[in-house]
């Protein structure tokens, strides 16, 4: 509680001194009125703060980056003595700093406020009321209360964009593999009864003789090569401004979302490992909505260097037909690992998120990648 009683205290004491000195009831009555105003102000603020109820709600719980939602805040109290309009302090979010708002146009025991909230960056935020300050009409007393409930979670999803179709390593389209596996008698997985039209080389002659009926081998369905998406989940490099760094994070997430979205209708499996405090591996079978939600929750808390992550992922290259690397930094160690991936078979494409594609320090590394048959694409962060 904060109290500002210096001025009314001095005035009341001066009036009482005059009343005792002159014996005039006018000065005494004025002093008592000031004391009564102070006590009523204290009682009003105390009662309003004890019965204070703060609620906040969002018009939408999930939006795409660049969209807006409406934040509605209602403040109710059951005090009988009028108090000043409430002073609200709103939580800081990835898009807005902490903001103080006074409900000037909403007097009374129920006060409401509706604010537009622009979702400028991908991620999870909880826009709502951090604290509410109750003050009396004269400004003598103020009490700050913190709502027990946090703000409503707002999930801002990445906004996919069009990307060039991925190409897979020669011979990994799956059609030739499918044809060969259908006729390959060296890898049977089961047997079944003979059906008219079955090839004779599929007949299991020894087992047919034993069962006194024709049985044929069934073969494993060939597995198409995977599309592996590797996104740098460590903190992006600093660009000297928090807004620019947030734009880089958005571009990383939206590039990953775009690659996965473009592959949703293909026959190839898509895998996207996300590292950090809560590691998870996303797969196409999870569905695009769940994949976008998991991308929105990436906190870029991975502490391992990205070149080491790439090196560990080379063990998957045998069943990978296309590898996509998404990062905002590039060094010689990463270049060497990507070239090594390409030599192991799969097509490798790099998406480099940067504001300066003509950086003289990066151009030699790009040239080395292109000589190693690695596709290079640039992504320039664009604010919502």
Give tens-digit pLDDT for 53-89.
888 888 999 999 989 899 888 888 888 888 888 888 8
Mean pLDDT of 179-187: 42
343: Cα separation from own chain's centroid: 35
In this structure, the answer to whether residues 68 and 88 fall within a common structural domain is yes
Indicate whether 367 pLDDT > 60: yes
In 3-state terms, what secondary structure has residue 373? coil
Q: Does residue 223 or residue 325 have the better pLDDT?
A: 325
Cβ–Cβ under 8 Å, residues 321 and 268:
yes
Q: Does residue 383 or residue 67 have the better pLDDT?
A: 67
Examine residue 192 and state whether it is found in any structural domain, yes or no.
yes
In this structure, the answer to whether residues 192 and 258 fall within a common structural domain is no
Instruction: Pick the range with the lowest mean pLDDT from 10-19, 331-340, 344-353.
Output: 10-19
In this structure, the answer to whether residues 241 and 211 fall within a common structural domain is no
In this structure, the answer to whether residues 335 and 294 fall within a common structural domain is yes
Backbone angles phi, psi at 304, to 5 degrees: -75, 145
In this structure, the answer to whether residues 213 and 240 fall within a common structural domain is no
Cβ–Cβ under 8 Å, residues 43 and 37:
no
In this structure, the answer to whether residues 9 and 150 fall within a common structural domain is yes
Angle at alpha carbon of residue 21, lines to 18 and 22, rounded to 5°: 85
Mean pLDDT of 43-49: 88
Rounded distance, CA 301 to CA 270, Å? Answer: 23
In this structure, the answer to whether residues 190 and 255 fall within a common structural domain is no
In this structure, the answer to whether residues 127 and 1 fall within a common structural domain is yes
CB atoms under 10 Å from CB of 330, counted, come to 22
Task: Return mean pLDDT, the chain.
Answer: 84
Report residue 2's pLDDT band, with 50, 70 and 90 as the boundaries.
low
Q: What is the SS3 assignment for 9-74? A: HHHHHHHHHHHHHHCCHHHHHHHHHHHHHHHHHHHHHHHHHHCCEEEEEECCCEEECCCEEEEEEE
Examine residue 29 and state whether it is found in any structural domain, yes or no.
yes
Examine residue 210 and state whether it is found in any structural domain, yes or no.
yes
Rounded distance, CA 344 to CA 59, Å? Answer: 50
Integer CA distances (angstroms), 326 to 262, 264, 296, 338, in order = 15, 18, 16, 12
Report residue 373's pLDDT band, with 50, 70 and 90 as the boundaries.
very high
Nearest to 353 by CA among 242, 243, 247, 230: 247
Q: What is the pLDDT of residue 79?
A: 81
Nearest to 264 by CA among 240, 286, 241: 286
Indicate whether 256 pLDDT > 90: yes
Q: What is the pLDDT of residue 363?
A: 94
In this structure, the answer to whether residues 77 and 106 fall within a common structural domain is yes
Rounded distance, CA 367 to CA 329, Å? Answer: 15
Examine residue 168 and state whether it is found in any structural domain, yes or no.
no
Indicate whether 5 pLDDT > 70: yes
Rounded distance, CA 312 to CA 144, Å? Answer: 52
Examine residue 68 and state whether it is found in any structural domain, yes or no.
yes
pTM value is 0.75
Nearest to 349 by CA among 359, 361, 360, 339: 339
In this structure, the answer to whether residues 118 and 230 fall within a common structural domain is no
Mean pLDDT of 353-379: 94
Q: What is the pLDDT of residue 175?
A: 43
CATH number at residue 74: 2.60.40.1940
Rounded distance, CA 91 to CA 128, Å? Answer: 6
Task: Give me the percent of the chain exceeding a pLDDT of 70.
Answer: 90
CATH number at residue 241: 3.40.50.410
Report residue 113's pLDDT band, with 50, 70 and 90 as the boundaries.
confident
Q: What is the pLDDT of residues 124-172, one digit of tens each?
A: 988 888 888 888 888 888 899 888 767 788 999 999 999 999 888 764 4
Rounded distance, CA 369 to CA 351, Å? Answer: 12
Examine residue 284 and state whether it is found in any structural domain, yes or no.
yes
Structural domain count, the chain: 3
In this structure, the answer to whether residues 112 and 14 fall within a common structural domain is yes
Q: Which domain holds residue 206?
A: 175-219
Greatest mean pLDDT among 9-23, 121-135, 164-178, 290-304 lies in 290-304
Structure token pair of residue 369 = 């990648």
Examine residue 245 and state whether it is found in any structural domain, yes or no.
yes
Instruction: Pick the range with the lowest mean pLDDT from 15-24, 40-49, 80-89, 179-188.
Output: 179-188
Examine residue 270 and state whether it is found in any structural domain, yes or no.
yes
Q: Does residue 3 or residue 109 have the better pLDDT?
A: 3
Q: Does residue 225 or residue 230 have the better pLDDT?
A: 230
Which residues contact residue 213 at a Cβ distance below 8 angstroms, ignoring those fewer than 6 apart?
193, 194
In this structure, the answer to whether residues 214 and 145 fall within a common structural domain is no
Integer CA distances (angstroms), 353 to 94, 99, 193, 249, 366, in order = 20, 32, 57, 9, 13
């Amino acid at each position: 509680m904060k109290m500002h009683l210096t001025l009314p205290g001095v005035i009341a004491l001066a009036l009482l001194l005059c009343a005792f000195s002159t014996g005039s009831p006018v000065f005494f009555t004025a002093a008592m009125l000031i004391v009564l105003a102070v006590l009523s102000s204290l009682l009003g603020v105390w009662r309003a703060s004890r019965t204070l109820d703060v609620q906040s709600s969002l018009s939408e719980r999930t939006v795409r980056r660049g969209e807006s939602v409406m934040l509605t805040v209602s403040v109710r109290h059951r005090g009988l003595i009028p108090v000043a309009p409430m002073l609200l302090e709103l939580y800081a979010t990835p898009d807005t700093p902490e903001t103080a708002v006074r409900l000037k146009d909403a007097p009374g025991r129920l006060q409401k406020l509706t604010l537009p909230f622009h979702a400028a960056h991908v991620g999870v935020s909880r826009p709502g009321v951090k604290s509410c300050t109750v003050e009396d009409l004269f400004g003598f007393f103020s009490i700050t209360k913190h709502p027990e409930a946090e703000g409503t979670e707002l999930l801002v999803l990445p906004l996919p964009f069009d990307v060039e179709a991925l190409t897979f390593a020669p011979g990994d389209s799956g059609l030739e593999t499918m044809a060969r596996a259908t006729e390959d008698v060296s890898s049977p997985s089961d047997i079944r009864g003979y059906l008219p039209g079955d090839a004779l080389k599929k007949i299991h002659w020894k087992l047919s003789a034993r069962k006194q009926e024709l049985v044929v081998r069934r073969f494993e369905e060939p597995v198409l090569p995977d599309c592996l998406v590797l996104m740098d989940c460590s903190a992006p490099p600093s660009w000297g401004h928090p807004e620019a760094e947030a734009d880089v994070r958005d571009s990383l997430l939206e590039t990953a979302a775009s690659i996965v979205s473009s592959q949703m209708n293909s026959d190839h499996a898509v895998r996207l490992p996300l590292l950090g405090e809560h590691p998870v591996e996303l797969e196409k079978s999870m569905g695009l909505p769940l994949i976008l939600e998991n991308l929105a929750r990436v906190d870029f808390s991975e502490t391992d260097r990205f070149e080491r992550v790439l090196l560990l992922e080379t063990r998957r290259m045998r069943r990978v037909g296309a590898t996509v690397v998404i990062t905002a930094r590039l060094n010689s160690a990463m270049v060497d690992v990507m070239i090594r991936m390409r030599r192991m078979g799969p097509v490798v494409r790099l998406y480099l998120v940067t504001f300066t594609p003509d950086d003289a320090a990066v151009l030699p590394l790009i040239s080395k990648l292109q000589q190693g048959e690695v596709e290079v694409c640039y992504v320039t962060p664009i604010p919502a």
